[in-house]
Amino acid sequence: MLRKWQSGLIEKVKIIGRRWNLIKNRLIRSWAQHDGQWFLKTSRKHGYKEANRLNQEALFTMAKIEARYVLNALYIKRDLRLRAFNLIL
């Protein structure tokens, strides 16, 4: 049997979890909108080919950063990360 304060705490955690999912989803959508606007404005100012070239450079850099985040989240050690990066590149 849960004590009153324990059930209250559990409810607060559930509420925070639901709010966090809403905030997280909003941030994801905002970033996608920002990315789209960046490409649109860049292509209008510098042309589609240049915007695409810059976008490809950014994607290559971001792929390395995201791979590092994933490997860290999976607790993969540094020497294994280096070997994984060498396989990717």
Task: Write out pLDDT tens, residues 1-55.
Answer: 666 666 666 777 777 777 777 878 888 888 889 989 999 999 999 999 999 999 9
Contacts of 43 (CB under 8 A, 6+ apart): 50, 51, 52
| pTM to 2 decimal places | 0.53
CA separation for the pair 42, 58 (Å, rounded):
13
Contact call for residues 71 and 84 (beta carbons, < 8 A): yes
CA separation for the pair 5, 11 (Å, rounded):
10
Q: Which is it for the CA torsion 57, 62, 68, 70, positive or negative?
A: negative
